[in-house]
Structure 1
Amino acid sequence: MRRIDIIYLGLGIFLAGGLAYLLLQLVGLDSQQAGIWSQALLVFGLVGWLLTYLFRAGTKQMTYNQQLKDYEDAVLEKRLAEMTPEELEKLQAEIEAEKK
Structure 2
Amino acid sequence: MRRIDVIGIGLGVFAAGGLAYLVLQVAGLDSLQAGIWSQVLLIGGLIGWLLTYLFRAGTKQMTYNQQLKDYEEAVLQKRLEELTPEELAKMQTEIEQKKSH
TM-score by length of 1: 0.94
Looking at structure 2, the residues matched to 72 and 92 of structure 1 have their Cα atoms a distance apart, in angstroms, of 21
How many equivalent residue pairs?
100
Which sections of structure 1, spanning at least 5 residues, go unmatched? none
Partner of 1:87: 87
**Stretches of 4+ aligned residues off by more than 4 angstroms:** none
Which sections of structure 2, spanning at least 5 residues, go unmatched? none
SS of 1:43's equivalent? Answer: helix
Q: Deviations over 1:25-73 (max 9, x none)?
A: 1111111111111100000100111111111112221111111110000
Larger displacement relative to structure 2 (10-19 or 47-56): 47-56
Partner of 2:61: 61
RMSD in angstroms over aligned alpha carbons? 1.0
Looking at structure 2, the residues matched to 36 and 14 of structure 1 have their Cα atoms a distance apart, in angstroms, of 15
Question: Percent of pairs identical after alignment?
Answer: 77
TM-score by length of 2: 0.93
| CA shift for structure 1 position 3 | 1.1
Looking at structure 2, the residues matched to 12 and 91 of structure 1 have their Cα atoms a distance apart, in angstroms, of 56
